[in-house]
Amino acid sequence: MARGVIGQHGSGHGIRNRQRPFLQPACRGDAGKGQILGTLAEKKNQTILVKMTRRSDQHNGAPGDLPARLRVGLRHLEVFVATARAGSTRSAAERVARSQSAASSAIAELEATLGAALFDRVRRRLLLNENGRALLPMAASLLDHAAELEHLFSGAHAAPLRMAASLTIGEVLLPDVVARWKGSHPHSPVHIVIANSSAVIRSVAAFDVDIGFIEGPQTHPDLSVQPWLTDEMVVFSAPSHPLASLRRSSFEQLRAQPWAVREPGSGTREASDRWLLEHLGSIDIAFELGSSEALKRLVATGVAIGCLSRYAVASALADGSLVELRTGLPPLHRRLAIVVHKDKQLGRGAEDFVRHCLATLTDNAHSGSGPRRPRETVAPRRRAGR
């Protein structure tokens, strides 16, 4: 918007000559101070100067030129994403090493700049509204790319790889996969959060991690699911358990036993509930544990029988500390999957790791080592048990 700046030169105190003024040719002044477009002649020694200025954020260039400056900064977005994840500016300030007042000011400035509220204020909580939910994926992606830029000219040359995995995948499958990947990416830091599948889905949906690994059919409307491996559920016991010596345990015998199972919310628990309750009707759940390792150690004492992924019990079955029970239950296969957010553009490292996981599956199918599809591992074991 143009602004007029009026000044007087000479000894006169005002404009008294009503003669029609005339506009003289413009002369350019300092670009930073505006332009003198003309002089209005009134009387001798009197001149009115018309000075045109332009707002500092006003674009005045050829089509395709960038504006003079961007008003949204990475610091604003960093605080916004941290607040969206934490639910308050106080917790967000701790995540980004700022004071609470600075975090609150950053949110207020961002909302003022965008001309829209990004949060609903509910008591002391800040909850994303529809505007905030639309901004979150773009803001998270910009921050990830900014992190890659920071590492570009450092010794690492790679941004951290952030993942979340279910317990079976995180404790049994991923360590070998990550170790092989690190061989070709030695400078890439890897951060893995291990939790149950429900927590993994929440972490990916909230942009806390880049990639998630889950068990079973659980999903989320904001996530893309890439099938990875297929697993099989196994009923097992201690070698000394009475059912271990039977050629086949009946459904009545299985219903009469105390069971040790995973906690609600895990993909393994969802699969075991669906499988066992459908065919046995009811079971005596004596123990619920949030760790597969703890569950195996408990079952090895002989106080209960258990149900876990074949991947989770493979080593214990191989060394004889646990035995697979022969039952009349039909086999249950379940899907293991890789999940990413639909609105998130993965960084170079994350994309490379997903490709590595899928390539590892293909390579192992040919070599006969590592994670394999159940068609190659499970079927021979079922035939051998008959």
Which pLDDT tens digit goes with each residue over 15-64?
344 444 444 444 444 444 444 344 444 444 444 444 444 444 444 545 55
Which CATH number is correct for 75-152, 2.40.30.10, 1.10.10.10, 1.10.3210.10, 1.20.58.340? Answer: 1.10.10.10
**Beta pairing class for 161-165 and 190-194:** parallel
- The answer to whether residue 378 scores a pLDDT higher than 80 is no
Per-residue pLDDT band for 122 (boundaries 50, 70, 90) equals confident
| 230 pLDDT above the threshold of 50 | yes
Query: Which residues neighbour 374 within 8 Å (Cβ) at sequence distance 6 or greater?
Result: 230, 231, 232, 310, 333
Among 179-188, 292-301, 308-317, name the one with the lowest average pLDDT: 179-188
Residues of the chain with CATH 1.10.10.10: 75-152
Share of the chain above pLDDT 70, in %: 73
Lowest mean pLDDT among 138-147, 193-202, 248-257: 138-147
- Of 288 and 68, the one with more pLDDT: 288
* First and final C-alpha spacing in the chain: 86
pLDDT at residue number 39: 41
pLDDT for res 65? 54
Task: Please report the pLDDT score of residue 98 as a whole number.
Answer: 81
What whole-number distance in Å separates Cα of residue 203 and Cα of residue 210? 9
Q: What is the pLDDT of residues 366-375, one digit of tens each?
A: 344 444 443 3
In whole angstroms, what is the distance from residue 216 CA to residue 353 CA? 21
Q: How distant, in Å, are the alpha carbons of 83, 99, 129, 221 from that of 132? A: 11, 22, 5, 17
**Residues ≥6 apart with Cβ < 8 Å to 353:** 161, 163, 181, 211
Handedness of CA 75, 77, 83, 89 (dihedral sign): positive
Region 136-143: mean pLDDT is: 85
Q: Kindly give, in sequence order, each residue whose CB lies less than 8 Å from that of residue 167, ignoring residues fewer than 6 positions away.
A: 194, 195, 196, 262, 266, 268, 291, 292, 312
Across 91-105, 215-229, 255-269, 364-378, the highest mean pLDDT is recorded for 255-269
Mean pLDDT calculated for residue range 156-163: 74
Higher pLDDT, 45 or 111: 111
- Of the candidates 361, 335, 340, the residue with the CA atom closest to the CA atom of residue 176: 361
Q: Where in the chain is the domain with CATH 3.40.190.290?
A: 159-386
**Among 119-123, 266-270, 377-381, the least confident range:** 377-381
Mean pLDDT score, 211-231: 90
Q: How confident is the model at residue 275 (pLDDT cuts 50, 70, 90)?
A: very high
Would you state the structure tokens that stand for residue 342, as one six-digit string? 């639909």
CATH 3.40.50.300 fits 159-386, yes or no: no
By mean pLDDT, which of 1-5, 82-86, 220-224, 265-269 is the weakest?
A: 1-5
Q: Residue 209 to residues 44, 188, 200, 206, 330: CA-CA distances in angstroms?
A: 74, 15, 9, 8, 36
What is the 8-class DSSP label of residue 32? T
Least confident segment among 16-30, 81-95, 211-225: 16-30
